[in-house]
Amino acid sequence: MSEETDVRHASGVDEAGKDRNIRRLRRIEGQVRGLQKMVEEDRYCTDIMTQIASVHEALRGVSRELMRNHLRHCTADAVRSGEARAEEIYEELLDLIYSRTR
Amino acid sequence: MSEETDVRHASGVDEAGKDRNIRRLRRIEGQVRGLQKMVEEDRYCTDIMTQIASVHEALRGVSRELMRNHLRHCTADAVRSGEARAEEIYEELLDLIYSRTR
Amino acid sequence: MSEETDVRHASGVDEAGKDRNIRRLRRIEGQVRGLQKMVEEDRYCTDIMTQIASVHEALRGVSRELMRNHLRHCTADAVRSGEARAEEIYEELLDLIYSRTR
Amino acid sequence: MSEETDVRHASGVDEAGKDRNIRRLRRIEGQVRGLQKMVEEDRYCTDIMTQIASVHEALRGVSRELMRNHLRHCTADAVRSGEARAEEIYEELLDLIYSRTR
């Protein structure tokens, strides 16, 4: 999706955090390919599940970085934009934080 | 790692479940590449986090399939092998189930 | 702990949310007593675990209400207090959100 | 519920684990009463949420003990009862392990 067609951008992006996240996601892609190999080779189930746990943890690292950016830029902007916009972003945040699929 | 050098194999593997998991992991690899693109394009933070939630969920699908196989083959074999081996596999299972990084 | 000795108060509290939380916590107290009875009576393990899952879910309801209050009052105040105080509260929030014991 | 009316009992119960769980649940009941007091006194939101995290963790201790008992007795019995009964208990276990409300 190009910037032109994307209706909502981040209010601002920390470039260092963005670089860290791209590096993390490349490592995660490698881990997922490693998992395919482990499954193909009939590796021991709990070894594969331990490796999956490590991918979950790495994804949480990406998510935490995004959330920091979200609080610093989007949430802070919303707070300054007045109560209606702030309430909207709080409910969005609560849905995200208490979602059971994180 | 080749089968020759891998000390512990699964006691048995359900071939249909294995195929499903390889297909799932290929889809997950595509989702992770999609995440890299979203981060590069400065997409809205919560949209990326929602996409990450969907990868977590897909990984849990892989893990659930592995756990079914583990119960059907490895755990069942251990139960039949006597108490000492069974206790070992129960503790391994408990560590896996109650790990906070799933 | 009296208000006098408590160093940090909430910046503000939504009274309706507070009432909901007290009612929720009384119900949770009753559920925990029910769990004691189930354990004493040697009830089927998975029935007890299902009941424990329901207590986890009820606690998340309390937590979500507190988080809404925290965003509306404490976080919003911090954002208005300037960058240093805001950064402090963001890191505190991130630790809370990504803690593995929720 | 009396033993007479309860259709499914545990296949066996480890008495030491049962005692530990009753003690744990009494402590959890006290923690939940402490939470009510914290909410009534308008204590700082994140302090209450940290205390809630500690209740979640304590409940997981109870659940882990129950799961150990479940594996040692119910699951092991089911494995010995033949494939149909075993499959039933595996699916029940998978639902419990991968439930999003633990």
Model confidence at D10, pLDDT cuts 50, 70, 90, reads low
Q: CB contacts < 8 Å between C and D, how many?
A: 138
In this prediction the ipTM stands at 0.86
Q: What is the mean pLDDT of residues A12-40?
A: 95
Q: How far apart are CA D46 and CA C41, in angstroms?
A: 37
Q: B101 CB near a chain C CB, below 8 Å?
A: yes
DSSP chain A: --TTT-S-B-S---HHHHHHHHHHHHHHHHHHHHHHHHHHTTB-HHHHHHHHHHHHHHHHHHHHHHHHHIIIIIIHHHHHT-HHHHHHHHHHHHHHHH-TT-
Binary contact (B98, D72; C-beta < 8 A): no
**Three-point CA angle C17, C20, C23, nearest 5°:** 150
- Average pLDDT score over residue span B1-29: 77
Sole residue written with tokens 């519920």: D1
- Residue D2 in contact with partner chain A when CB distance is under 8 A: no
Q: What is the mean pLDDT of chain A?
A: 88
pLDDT at B12: 76
Residue type, A10: A
**Chains in contact with chain B (at least 3 beta-carbon pairs closer than 8 A):** A, C, D
A contact chains, 3+ CB pairs < 8 A: B, C, D
Q: Which two tokens stand for residue A5?
A: 């067609």
Question: In a 3-state reduction of DSSP, which class is residue C29?
Answer: helix
Task: Report how many Cβ contacts below 8 Å link chain B to chain D.
Answer: 46
A97 CB neighbour count, 10 Å cutoff: 20
Q: Computed over its alpha carbons, how large is the radius of gyration of chain B?
A: 18
Nearest CA distance, C42 vs chain A (angstrom): 30
Interchain CB distance below 8 Å, B45 and A69 = yes
Distance from CA of C44 to the nearest CA of B (A): 18
pLDDT category at D4 given cuts 50, 70, 90 is very low
Query: How far lies B55's CA from each of A59, B31, B50, B61, in Å?
Result: 9, 7, 9, 10
Averaged over D36-65, what is the pLDDT? 95
* A10 CB burial (10 A radius; 0-12, 13-18, 19+): buried
**What is the least distance, in Å, from the CA of C87 to any CA of chain A?**
8
Beta-strand ranges (E) seen in chain B are: none
- What is the DSSP secondary structure assignment for residue D4, as one 8-state letter? T
Q: Which residues contact D76 (CB under 8 A, 6 or more apart)?
A: B79, B86, D11
Q: Which chain B residues are within 8 Å of C100, Cβ to Cβ?
A: 100-101
pLDDT in tens, D59-95: 999 999 999 999 998 888 898 898 899 999 999 999 9
CA–CA min distance D89, chain A (Å):
19
For A47-89, how does the pLDDT look when each residue is reduced to its tens digit (9 = 90+)? 999 999 999 999 999 999 999 999 999 888 898 898 899 999 9
- Which burial class, exposed, middle or buried, applies to A76 when counting CB atoms under 10 A from its CB (0-12, 13-18, 19+)? buried
The first and second tokens of residue A96, run together, are 């995200």
Q: Which residue of C has its CA nearest to D43?
A: C9
> Residue holding tokens 């075993």?
D86
Region C10-34: what's the mean pLDDT?
A: 92
Average pLDDT, chain C: 88
- The answer regarding whether domain C14-100 maps to CATH 1.20.58.1000 reads yes
- Mean pLDDT lowest among A8-12, A90-94, C49-53: A8-12
Please report, rounded to a whole number, the percentage of residues in chain C having pLDDT higher than 70.
Answer: 86
Q: Percentage of residues in chain A with pLDDT exceeding 90?
A: 69
Terminal CA-CA length for chain A: 25
Q: What DSSP letter does each residue of chain B carry, written as one string?
A: --TTT-S-B-S---HHHHHHHHHHHHHHHHHHHHHHHHHHTTB-HHHHHHHHHHHHHHHHHHHHHHHHHIIIIIIHHHHHT-HHHHHHHHHHHHHHHH-TT-
How far is B60 from D67, CA to CA, in rounded Å?
20
Residue among B17, D96, D68, D93 nearest A48 (CA): B17
Strand partners, D43: C9
Is the Cβ of A23 closer than 8 Å to some Cβ of chain C?
no
Residue holding tokens 């991130």? C94
Question: Rounded to whole angstroms, how far apart are CA atoms D9 and D11?
Answer: 6
8 Å CB contact of D55 and C59: yes
CA C4 to chain A, closest CA, distance in angstroms equals 30
Query: In terms of CA atoms, which chain A residue is nearest residue B89?
Result: A46
Q: Which of B63, B72, B90 sits opposite D71 (nearest CB)?
A: B90
Residue A13 has pLDDT above 90, yes or no: no
Instruction: Give the total residue count for chain D.
Output: 102
What average pLDDT does the structure give for chain D? 88
C24 contact D CB<8A: no
Dist. CA D58–CA C56, nearest whole Å = 11
A55-69, B5-19, B68-82, C67-81, range with greatest mean pLDDT: A55-69
Look at residue B13 in the predicted model and tell me its pLDDT.
84
Q: Which two three-digit tokens encode residue D19?
A: 């005692």
Tell me the percentage of chain A whose pLDDT exceeds 70.
86
Report D:53-92 residues touching C (Cβ under 8 A): 53-57, 59, 62-63, 66-67, 69-70, 74, 92
Residues C61, C65, C69: CA angle, nearest 5 degrees: 165
What's the whole-model pTM score? 0.87
Closest alpha carbon to B78 in B87, B66, B65: B87
Q: State residue D61's pLDDT score.
A: 95
Contacts of A96 in chain B (CB under 8 A): 46, 49-50
